[in-house]
Amino acid sequence: MQNRRKFIKQTALAAAAVPFSKVLAASRKVDKAKPYPINFFTKPLDKYDWEFTMDTLKMAGLDGLDPTVRPKGCVLPEQVEDDLPKFIEMAKQKGLTPEMMVSNITKANDPLAEKVLSTAAQNGIKHYRLGYYKYDMGLGVRSSIEKIKDEMVALGEMNKRIGIQGGYQNHAGTWFGASMWDLAEVLDHTPKVWMSNQFDIRHAVCEGNKSWITALHLLAENIGSLAIKDFTWDVTGGQSKVKKLPLGEGIVDFDLYFKTLKKLGIVAPITLHVEHELLSTAEEGLSLLQQQKILVAKLKADVDFIRRKLAEHQLN
């Protein structure tokens, strides 16, 4: 592992010296006054070492990270007290602001919940994403919502005691929160400062088509973070399937989205979720330096798209 980290560091340094980095990797300090800092949900890069991931994100122009602190994540919950402070310190040294993270926590009495959240808060993490809740159809939709409400309220109380904000992502499918009215109903029972919605525009459009804007209005006062990605529908044999795409290449109406953020006064950190293909199977066999060039170019395209839309709608 140590040799691999050394190699990754060397390739990252080499990348900074080649021509592509002069165009793609202008180093700058993070402006903490930015109303919409762009963070990166690290899941697509979790197979790499921390240093490689952070160097790649810095070169791509990210402001911060949204690391996975969950099973199979870049920081494992059972090792959070040792590893998360190291991860955060390395991020700061790289010029990235680590103020968000992703967990699998759904209950205040989860075995590792308090240790994970306390460690996060003590090291500057201000916002974390929860895990997901499922509907119990045997219990029924309304009764399930009541049960989930009790769990989220209890978790919100723990967040208050620790000093960290939770965020529940609206995720397409049969999960609680997919239709968004259910999530809005539950969030009315706990202060936004301790429990909020991570509004995911892709999943909102996926489930709501044109009505996502109604949901955005409904949840506006409860939004604590903004997850951004794009998609279209791939229809084959009468069956529809989500096709994940780079920002601006799908069906999400980002102009209406950013216009509405401004109209409603929604100001929150952005977490960039990259689900489109970053490396093909053949490209995964390339050297780390070659992989990094491809990763930086693709990630920077998404980052630049967001910055362009923020500028166009006077949100930066």
Structure tokens that stand for 120 in this block: 């996060």
| Cβ proximity of 123 and 85 under 8 Å | yes
Write down the pLDDT at residue 7.
Answer: 43
Taking residue 282's Cβ as centre, other Cβ atoms within 10 Å add up to 7
pLDDT tops 90 at residue 20: no
Write down the pLDDT at residue 34.
Answer: 86
Percentage of the residues of the chain whose pLDDT score is greater than 90: 89
| Range with the poorest average pLDDT among 14-18, 161-165, 258-262, 295-299 | 14-18
Spell out the residues 6+ positions from residue 126 whose beta carbon is closer than 8 angstroms to its own.
99, 100, 164, 165
How confident is the model over 86-114, as pLDDT tens digits?
A: 999 999 999 999 999 999 999 999 999 99
Could you give the CA distance from residue 142 to residue 134 in angstroms, rounded to a whole number?
13
pLDDT bin (cut points 50, 70, 90) of residue 37 is very high
pLDDT tops 70 at residue 285: yes
Write down the pLDDT at residue 16.
Answer: 42
Taking residue 314's Cβ as centre, other Cβ atoms within 10 Å add up to 8
Please tell me which residue, 312 or 34, carries the higher pLDDT value.
Answer: 312
How confident is the model over 155-198, as pLDDT tens digits?
A: 999 999 999 999 999 999 999 999 999 999 999 999 999 999 99
pLDDT tops 60 at residue 264: yes
How confident is the model over 196-213, as pLDDT tens digits?
A: 999 999 999 999 999 999
CA dihedral 247, 250, 255, 258 (to 10 degrees): -50
- The DSSP string of 33-82 is T-SS-EEEE-GGGTTS-HHHHHHHHHHTT-SEEE-BBSTTSSB-GGGHHH
pLDDT tops 70 at residue 219: yes
| Range with the poorest average pLDDT among 3-17, 152-166, 233-247, 286-300 | 3-17
pLDDT bin (cut points 50, 70, 90) of residue 142 is very high
How confident is the model over 39-60, as pLDDT tens digits?
A: 999 999 999 999 999 999 999 9
Write down the pLDDT at residue 316.
Answer: 82
pLDDT bin (cut points 50, 70, 90) of residue 2 is very low
Question: Span 30-312: which CATH code?
Answer: 3.20.20.150
Q: With CA atoms as reference, report the closest residue to 227 among 100, 123, 109, 138.
A: 100
Could you give the CA distance from residue 113 to residue 115 in angstroms, rounded to a whole number?
6
In the chain, where are the structural domains located?
30-312
pTM score of the predicted model: 0.89
